[in-house]
């Protein structure tokens, strides 16, 4: 049965859904409020997708009053959060986020992020929604319970996989500019196309994104990165002109240049391939960010050096530094998440250098030590970074990576470097030689650690103590 046929059918609900919806239906009838399910639940129900445990309801009346009444009829009497300025109310029931709103009209001032809200009809409420696929409603009223109300052909747009605004896109995007990014996010999540008039509306209204808070922009950007094929959304962001405004460092990766017959690949499109590759192996947002930023410094490190050709010397270390400024500007977490991304970006060239057959155990130990808990993520990125179309090269690269994995496994099993804690601490050095924090402490500590990583001594406390004493004597220090 096609989606268009479903437009004439009544919806079937699960037992849990039926209990919730019938309770809401009864309460709405008692209050005299026509009531409807709207938004993503309806869309995902038609697509047979599991919804994300949030359901929106619209009533022609007070959404707050309906929410309060419904809560009294549900087990546990959930606590209702009221937002009187916007006429909305929210509570959680059985791990489902439930939101109620009175049917409304919305408009925005040119320089405001906050809407002006007025009471309206169901049709007004559907018209103000972002896209036709999100503007459908399911009736909870007794006379037509479970019937789909689809005034803007949302079912057809689902069937033809199109993102389209229910009204003139210039109005839709001017009213709430974040909808431009939402259009792109839905295209990436659902693998839909953005209808041409709607897409032109995004291009024309792109500068309006500047009035949206960074937190809301970043939230949409993260959702694009978490989509099954992030390149769809990233391409749309770039082509529409939005990326230049919200993430100019990524947009700067575009382009190739030819000198003396030597050219380099377009690092923007290479990055899109890499993030699509890693997205087939992990849903971890921060590994996807590492993939997005792994070559971010190539535009600023690019040099042409004859006869070698194009070089991007140090782009991995410069990229790790840029990651912090990018995370700060985008208001992404600056704690463990940033450290993970920086570590992987700074090390992403290292496994490639270990594909040589004569690589030393010392080099393997250092990678194990520096990567630590990020080793698996690093290896996922390095594998995703293989974007050549040459099948023989891919085969050779993958065989080399398997060799590196075996070497890493072998050295780790022998030396346990990933859980390595140097046996000589700064505190022990200061206590032994009656020192305050300073240069000598760092010299001794680094010397012992490097000797262990180089394999000159085993990771053993007694041998490390001997080495500490030798280095201290060389520095003219006496035991306390």
CA-only gyration radius of the chain, Å? 29
Q: Which ranges of 213-360 does DSSP label H, i.e. alpha helix?
A: 214-225, 230-240, 242-246, 248-251, 267-279, 285-293, 298-301, 315-330, 336-347, 350-353
List of residues 6+ apart from 250 with CB closer than 8 A: 234, 238, 243, 268, 271, 292, 296
Residue ranges, CATH 3.30.460.10, the chain: 3-155
pTM: 0.84
Q: Which of 58, 72, 247 is nearest to 134 (CA)?
A: 58
Helix axis angle for 375-384 and 361-371, nearest 10°, is 110
The CATH architecture assigned to 3-155 reads 2-Layer Sandwich (3.30)
Helix axis angle for 230-240 and 214-225, nearest 10°, is 130
- Please, what is the average pLDDT of the chain? 89
Kind of pairing, strands 162-163 and 193-194?
Answer: parallel
Q: Which of 401, 406, 410, 411 is nearest to 362 (CA)?
A: 411
Mind listing the pLDDT tens digit for each residue in 257-293?
767 667 678 899 999 999 999 999 999 999 999 999 9
Mind listing the pLDDT tens digit for each residue in 122-134?
988 898 899 999 9
Note down pLDDT in tens along the chain; length 480 residues.
345 454 445 677 888 899 999 999 999 999 999 999 999 999 999 998 877 789 999 999 999 999 999 999 999 999 999 998 888 999 999 989 999 999 976 655 555 555 555 677 898 889 889 999 999 999 999 999 999 999 999 999 999 999 999 999 999 998 899 999 999 999 999 999 999 999 999 999 999 999 999 999 999 999 999 999 999 999 999 999 999 999 999 999 998 776 766 767 889 999 999 999 999 999 999 999 999 999 999 999 999 888 778 889 999 999 999 999 999 999 999 999 999 999 999 999 998 878 766 778 888 888 888 898 999 999 999 999 988 777 777 788 778 888 888 888 888 877 677 666 778 889 999 999 989 999 999 999 989 988 888 888 887 888 999 999 999 989 988 887
Q: How far apart are the C-alpha atoms of 349 and 372, rounded to whole Å?
A: 16
């Amino acid at each position: 049965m096609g989606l268009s046929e479903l437009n004439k059918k009544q919806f079937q609900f699960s037992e849990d859904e039926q209990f919730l919806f019938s309770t809401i239906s009864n309460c709405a009838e008692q209050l005299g409020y026509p009531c409807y399910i709207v938004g993503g639940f309806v869309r995902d129900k038609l697509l047979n997708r599991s919804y994300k445990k949030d359901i929106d309801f619209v009533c022609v009346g007070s959404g707050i009053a309906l929410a309060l009444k419904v809560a009294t009829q549900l087990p546990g009497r959930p606590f209702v959060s009221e937002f009187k300025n916007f006429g909305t109310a929210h509570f959680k029931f059985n791990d489902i986020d439930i939101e109620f709103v009175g049917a409304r009209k919305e408009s925005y001032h040119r320089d405001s992020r906050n809407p002006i809200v007025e009471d309206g009809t169901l049709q007004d409420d559907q018209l103000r929604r972002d896209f036709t696929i999100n503007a459908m409603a399911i009736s909870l009223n007794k006379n037509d319970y479970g019937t789909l109300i689809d005034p803007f052909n949302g079912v057809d747009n689902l069937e033809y996989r199109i993102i389209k605004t229910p009204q003139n896109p210039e109005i839709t995007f001017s009213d709430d500019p974040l909808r431009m990014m939402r259009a792109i996010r839905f295209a990436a999540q659902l693998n839909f196309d953005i209808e041409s008039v709607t897409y032109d509306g995004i291009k024309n209204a792109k500068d309006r994104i500047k009035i949206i808070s960074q937190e809301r922009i970043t939230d949409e950007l993260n959702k694009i990165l978490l989509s099954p094929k992030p390149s769809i959304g990233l391409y749309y962001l770039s082509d529409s002109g939005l990326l230049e405004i919200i993430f100019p460092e990524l947009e700067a990766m575009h382009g190739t240049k030819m000198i003396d017959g030597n050219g380099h690949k377009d690092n923007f499109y290479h990055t899109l391939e890499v993030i699509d590759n890693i997205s087939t192996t992990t849903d971890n947002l921060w590994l996807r960010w590492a993939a997005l930023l792994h070559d971010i410094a190539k535009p600023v490190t690019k040099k042409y050096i004859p006869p070698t050709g194009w070089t991007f010397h140090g782009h991995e270390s410069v990229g790790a530094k840029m990651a912090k400024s990018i995370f700060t500007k985008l208001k992404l977490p600056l704690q463990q998440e940033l450290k993970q991304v920086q570590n992987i970006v700074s090390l992403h060239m290292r496994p490639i250098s270990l594909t040589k057959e004569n690589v030393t155990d010392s080099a393997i130990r250092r990678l194990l030590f520096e990567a630590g808990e990020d080793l698996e993520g690093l290896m996922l990125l390095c594998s995703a970074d293989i974007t050549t179309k040459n099948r023989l090269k891919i085969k050779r690269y993958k065989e080399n990576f398997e060799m590196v994995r075996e070497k890493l496994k072998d050295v780790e099993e022998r030396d346990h470097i990933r859980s390595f804690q140097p046996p000589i601490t700064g505190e022990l050095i200061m206590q032994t030689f009656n020192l305050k924090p300073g240069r000598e402490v760092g010299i001794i500590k680094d010397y012992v650690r490097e000797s262990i990583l180089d394999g000159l001594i085993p990771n053993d406390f007694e041998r490390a103590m001997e080495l500490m004493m030798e280095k201290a004597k060389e520095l003219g220090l006496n035991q306390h």
